[in-house]
Amino acid sequence: MDYHKLAIACMFFLLGQINVWFGTNSQLVWKWWADKPFVAAIVFGIPATIFFWYGTKYAFDAMDELWGPRFLGFGMSYVSFPWLYRFYGGRVKKETKSYIDKPWGWEKLWAHTDKYVGKILHIKDGHQLSRQYHEKKEETIYVMTGRLTLEIGSGKEIVTKYLERGDTYHIEPGVIHRFCVQKDSPTVQLMEVSTPELDDVVRLEDDYNRIHQKRTPEEGS
């Protein structure tokens, strides 16, 4: 047996398994990957295939049989996966808990106490939140990126305001409001700081048929 070629095969199989891990688990570690399976397939899948191809070549040359390379490649997952889970496992648990998927994008709850709540709202282009008001909740928004269309007012007196990056707006209880992003506009990210009543949302209109749903703290907006 050629141990030099066997060592090279192990290296290629290890790199292949690392790419497999990131290709399937990056969606849980980093929110950016959550809706990009085809990008993950290209970025991680192509290198993994190349690494496995060379790993199989060198392992076959070293062992001169087919089943050995198969078990060797599979075994490298037991070498790489535990360390990757050990390093990223805490982040996976934290990120999946703090991010909440929404039909209009997502939000991240970065602070939640009995006195205040902090969120980041990521609104995709061409989408809008429900037209709503809060009975007790009071909030202030800060535009981090993009251009927000804000519909706001009371009763039939609804006006439209345009908020750019760096703009802020304070919304008091009872004020009707709606956050919108125009089609083909840059994605908008808002920072929202509010009083802690997460489930205090009265929807008046909604593009996603959620008006009559029972709301939970995760279903606000």
Q: What is the CATH number of the domain that holds 210?
A: 2.60.120.10
Among 60, 82, 98, where does a domain finish?
Answer: 98
Same domain, 119 and 83: no
- Boundary-marking domain end, from 45, 66, 98: 98
- The verdict on 214 and 108 lying in the same domain is yes
| Same domain, residue pair 109 and 206 | yes
| Residues 195 and 178 reside in one and the same domain | yes
d(CA 140, CA 116): 11
pLDDT at residue 175, as a whole number: 96
How many domains does the chain contain in total?
2
Residue 118 and residue 72 share a domain: no
What six digits make up the tokens of 130? 């429900």
Q: Block means of pLDDT (10 residues each) for the chain, length 221 residues?
A: 90 95 88 87 95 94 89 90 82 63 91 93 95 96 96 90 96 96 90 95 92 56 69
Across 4-135, the runs of DSSP E, i.e. the strands, are: 99-102, 105-112, 117-123, 131-133
Per-residue confidence (pLDDT) for residue 29, from 0 to 100: 83
From 49, 67, 98, the end of a domain falls on: 98
The HSE-up count of residue 33 (CA atoms within 13 Å, CB side) is 19
How much is the pLDDT for 27? 86
Same domain, 117 and 215: yes
Co-location of 122 and 70 in the same domain: no
Task: Identify the domain containing residue 47 by its residue range.
Answer: 3-98
